[in-house]
């Protein structure tokens, strides 16, 4: 099984203090499209076992990165539960304020056709989202978070 990775660029920070120098890099989000059709629950299980989870789209920058994926449609981690749309990644401490609210629905969506559409599919050609039945099969879009490095150097001042 192959996946297509994408990485968002992250800032590099340099902190200098007399006698102490620290270089850190923010966590980078790595995106992967799995080239195997899966239902939503299969996609979520695969992403959690091999990466972090199905993708969480926090803003337009994430959306633009994901639009470059090599598949026309892919599962994302947004699902409908108890009259509310929520992201698959359950750890709320992961999100910054407002990041769980980003939405990019196609016109007329979500419509929950026949009260059976509880999962979200992203059209990679335009980045718009549709609610669909979770039992349908599409390619999963997964993400992983990796901290690149942290370097601390302590020296004595002369």
CATH number at residue 51: 3.10.100.10
Examine residue 17 and state whether it is found in any structural domain, yes or no: no
Domain that holds residue 120: 28-143
Contact between residue 131 and residue 120 where contact means Cβ atoms under 8 Å apart: yes
Examine residue 11 and state whether it is found in any structural domain, yes or no: no
Task: Note the pLDDT of residue 16.
Answer: 36
Residues of the chain with pLDDT under 50: 2-4, 6-26, 149-151
Examine residue 35 and state whether it is found in any structural domain, yes or no: yes
Examine residue 128 and state whether it is found in any structural domain, yes or no: yes
With a pLDDT cut of 90, the percent of the chain lying above it is 50
Task: Note the pLDDT of residue 94.
Answer: 76
Task: Note the pLDDT of residue 98.
Answer: 85
Examine residue 131 and state whether it is found in any structural domain, yes or no: yes
Total of domains in the chain: 1
Backbone φ and ψ of 71, nearest 5°: -120, 140
Strand-pair category, 119-123 with 73-81: antiparallel
Give the predicted TM-score (pTM) of the model. 0.74
Quote the CA–CA distance of 112 and 54 in Å, as a whole number. Answer: 21
Examine residue 60 and state whether it is found in any structural domain, yes or no: yes
Examine residue 152 and state whether it is found in any structural domain, yes or no: no
Examine residue 9 and state whether it is found in any structural domain, yes or no: no
If phi over 0 gives left and psi between -120 and 50 gives alpha, with beta otherwise, what is residue 28?
Answer: beta
């Amino acid at each position: 099984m192959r996946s297509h990775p994408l990485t968002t660029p992250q800032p590099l920070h340099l902190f200098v203090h007399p006698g102490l120098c620290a270089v850190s890099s923010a966590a980078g989000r790595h995106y992967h499209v799995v080239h195997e059709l899966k239902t939503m629950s299969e996609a979520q299980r695969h992403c959690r076992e091999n990466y972090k989870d199905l993708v969480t789209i926090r803003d337009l920058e994430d959306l633009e990165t994901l639009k470059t994926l090599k598949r026309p449609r892919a599962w994302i981690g947004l699902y409908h539960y108890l009259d509310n749309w929520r992201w698959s990644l359950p750890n709320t401490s992961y999100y910054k304020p407002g990041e769980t609210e980003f939405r990019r629905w196609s016109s007329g969506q979500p419509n929950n056709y026949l009260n059976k559409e509880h999962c979200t599919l992203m059209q990679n050609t335009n980045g718009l989202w549709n609610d669909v039945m979770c039992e349908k099969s599409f390619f999963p879009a997964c993400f992983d978070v990796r901290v690149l490095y942290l370097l601390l150097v302590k020296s004595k001042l002369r």
